[in-house]
Structure 1
C-alpha cells in the first residue's frame, strides 16, 4: 500500500517548532493555582522516590541522563510485527530501536511504552521524559532502549503513575488474576524489577499505583468486583485502607491523585505524607448515562475525560471532586481532556474526524475532515489507533495511510503536519511528555 504523506521541509519545520513551541517542544505551563499544592500533589500521585526528600531533591535525574532546556518530544511507532522506531519532533531525526513480539495494545506514561503481546508485556524506554515539579519542570534525555518482557498470560490492564523515575507501574492479568507492581526507579536504570506479584481470583481487574504501593481490585464470592484494596510495596494488603468500587474499570493518575472508575462514580485516592486516603465521588443524581471506563487527559492535569458509552462523555474534575456529563450528537471512539485555560476536550468520532469541545459548556468548537475513515472502519486497525494530547497539539496515528497526524486542536482543528515514522505506526505514542 502506498503511503500518503505531507512533506515539510526540515528547516521550515524547525522554525515553526521554535516559533510556536507546542508543535515540537510542547512545554506545559506550571500549575500554580493552589498555594501549597506542590508537595501534596506529588505525594498523592506517588511521585516521590525513597531517596528524594520533601523538597523534591533529585528532580527526576538519573545517572547518565542529560538535563536539557526543553521537552524532548518524540513519536514512538511500532508496526504489526513489533519493529520499533522513533521520530524527534523538533529536528525530524529518525531511528529504529529493534524488534519486540507483535503488539496487540500499547499504554504509555510519557516515557515508557508498555506493549501487550502474546507473552505478556514488552517495555520500550524512549529515553526522553519530563519530571513534573508542579510549579516547574525538568527535562531529560538518555539513550532509548528495549528493556525486555514481563511475563503474563492473556490480556493485560496497564496503569501508570505520575513520574517515570519514581513510584510504580501497575499490571493486571485478568486471565490469571495476577496483580503486578513494577519498580519505576529500576526501569529508569534499565532494569525490569517487580515490587510485588500478588495472586487474586481471575477477574477483570486492575492494579493502580499509589505512593509506594498500589490499589488492587477485589471480588466477592460470586466473582463480582466490589472494592479496591491498598497493598503496600511488598504486596501486603493494608488493613482498613479500602473503598467500595462496584465493577471497577479504568484508572488514571491526575494532578491530585489516583482515579479508579466505579459503576456509581469513582474512587479518588491520595497519599499525603505516605498515608493513603480513599474517597468516593458519585455521579450526579438523575444522570443515567453509561459509566466512565477509560480515562484520558493531558498528562498530569486535574481533569480527565472518559466516554459515556456512545451518548457523549464525562469530565471528572479531581480538584473540585465533581462530574460533568456532556451529550454529543455523534458517537465518539476516544476522548481526552486538555484541561488548558480554554478547557478543550479533544475526541475521535466514528467517522474518523477529530472533534473539539468546550469543557466549560460542552459546545462543539470545531471538527476536522474524516482523517481516519478507513482505519476506524477496520476493527483490526482501530485497535492500534490512539489519540494523545499535549499542551499545543494532539497526535493521532492512521494505520491505513502509515502516518501520524499532528492536529492544532486549539485553532481550527487543522492538520499541522502528517509525519512519516521509521516503522509503520500501527501502534504509537508521544514520548517526552
Structure 2
C-alpha cells in the first residue's frame, strides 16, 4: 500500500466549491515560499507583496500563454496584453482551481501565477477586482511536476519524480495552502490522481518503465477498488455524476458508482491517453491511436466514452489533431482543433460532426511534444485558438461559428490556460488539467 499522511474533515463536513470557501483574495497578498517538499508542513510566509487593485463592473476573464522565456497574459475579452512575465525553462500551465491563479510547472515544483482577477463576496452581491498579474513566491515543491487535476474544490498535484500526491483546498492554493491529504505511490511514475466529492481518491499505479492500472482509496486511505487492466495508463477526465475516465492503450477504465469498469477499444492497440470531460455531459472526449510502432502517429479519429453505458465510439474527422487539440464547450460539446486549421464541433451524444469552423491555416504537428503547436482553450463562453506560426491568438464563438477577434503577439505561443476571474467557476473544467496532459 502507498504511504499516506491525512488531515480528516470533521464528521459530516461538506466540501464547498472553491468560490464558496473563499472567492476573494485581499489586494495585499502574502506569498508563502515552500522551501520544503509539498505537504511537509506550512512554510514561513515570504515578505508581503502589495498589489494595487482596481474595481471592475463585471468579472474579467484572463488567459495566459507560455513562450520561450516567459508567460504573456491577455484580457480574454479584448485580447489586449496585460502583462509579460519572464520565466526561464519549458513551462506548463495548469488551473489552480480558485478562478484566479494558475500553477506553472517549472523547475523545482508548481509555482502559483496570479492572473490578477478575482471577486469578493459582499452580502448578497459581489465586487470584482483586477490587478497586475505576477509570479508569486508560492511554490509546491516537486522533483518532476506533472499532472494537476481540479475537481469539487480540491486541487491534486502529482510529482512524477517521487510519486507523491498532494491534495489541496482549491480556494487557498494561491496562498500556499497546507496539504489536506498526502500520499506516495509505491513507485514513481508519470501518473495522475483525482479526489472526488466523497473523499475517495483515484490514483494511477506504475513504475518508470511501465504503468498498468489504478487504485481507489476511501477517506481513510483504504483500498475500495482496483484494476491492473489498463496498460500504459495515462490521463483522466471527470464527467457528469463524478464518473472518472482513465486512458489505457486498449481502451479506458471508468470509475462510477464505486466500481471500476474496463471499456475495451475496438482495436487490439487502441490508445486513449488524453481526455476532456465536462460536468455537463456523461460522455468523455478522448484521442485515439492505433499504431504502437509509429514515431509520431497523426490520428484522424477521436473517441467518445459514454460513462452511463460503458460504450466507446469513434468519430472520423477530416484532419488529424494533437494532444493540445481537445476541449469541451460550455454546454458540453466536444471540440477538436484539426491540422486543417478548423475547430471541429461534435455532438457528444450522437457523435455527429456538427460544424467545422475555419480558424487558422493548415499546420503540421512537430515531432517533439514540447515544440509549439496550435492549442485550444474553452473559457468563459468563448474558445481560444493559438497559432505559433503567425504568433497569433483567435477568439471563436462556437454557436455562431465566427472568429470574433484576433491578436498578433510578439512571441510564439505554446501552452494556453486561463481563469474566469469571477464567482461560480473553480477552474476544474477550463483545462481538466489541460496543459498537464502530454503524449507520453
Q: CA deviation at 1:395?
A: 0.6
CA distance in 2, matches of 1:337, 1:78: 21
1:256 aligns with 2:237: no
Equivalent position of 1:100 in the other structure: 87
CA distance in 2, matches of 1:429, 1:100: 16
CA contact (8 A) 1:298 1:336 kept: no
CA distance in 2, matches of 1:348, 1:337: 11
CA distance in 1, matches of 2:241, 2:414: 33
Correspondence 1:385-400 to 2 at 5 A: 385-390=374-379, 392-400=381-389
Q: Which SS does the other structure have where 1:237 is aligned?
A: coil
Residue deviations 1:255-305, cap 9 Å, x none? 3213322344222256xxxxxx24325247x56572321112457654331
Correspondence 1:37-186 to 2 at 5 A: 53=14, 59-64=20-25, 71-82=59-70, 84-90=71-77, 94-96=81-83, 98-108=85-95, 111-128=100-117, 143=131, 144-147=133-136, 148-154=138-144, 156-163=145-152, 166-173=153-160, 175-186=161-172
Equivalent position of 2:224 in the other structure: 240
Residue deviations 1:334-360, cap 9 Å, x none? 2333373xx743212234433333432
Q: TM-score, normalised by structure 2?
A: 0.67
CA distance in 2, matches of 1:289, 1:61: 45
CA distance in 1, matches of 2:118, 2:276: 19
| Structure 2: runs of 5+ lacking an equivalent | 1-8, 28-54, 290-298, 426-440
Equivalent position of 1:426 in the other structure: 414
| Structure 1: runs of 5+ lacking an equivalent | 1-47, 132-136, 271-276
1:313 aligns with 2:293: no
Q: 1:240–1:350: structure 2 CA closer, same or farther, 3 Å change rule?
A: same
1:296 aligns with 2:284: no
CA distance in 1, matches of 2:88, 2:381: 33
Q: CA deviation at 1:80?
A: 1.5
Q: CA RMSD in A?
A: 4.1
Q: CA deviation at 1:118?
A: 3.2
1:415 aligns with 2:395: no
Q: Which SS does the other structure have where 1:250 is aligned?
A: strand
Q: TM-score, normalised by structure 1?
A: 0.68
Q: CA deviation at 1:409?
A: 2.6
More helix by share: 1
Q: CA deviation at 1:65?
A: 6.0
How many residue pairs get aligned? The number is: 361
Equivalent position of 1:282 in the other structure: 263
CA distance in 2, matches of 1:185, 1:97: 25
CA contact (8 A) 2:79 2:406 kept: no
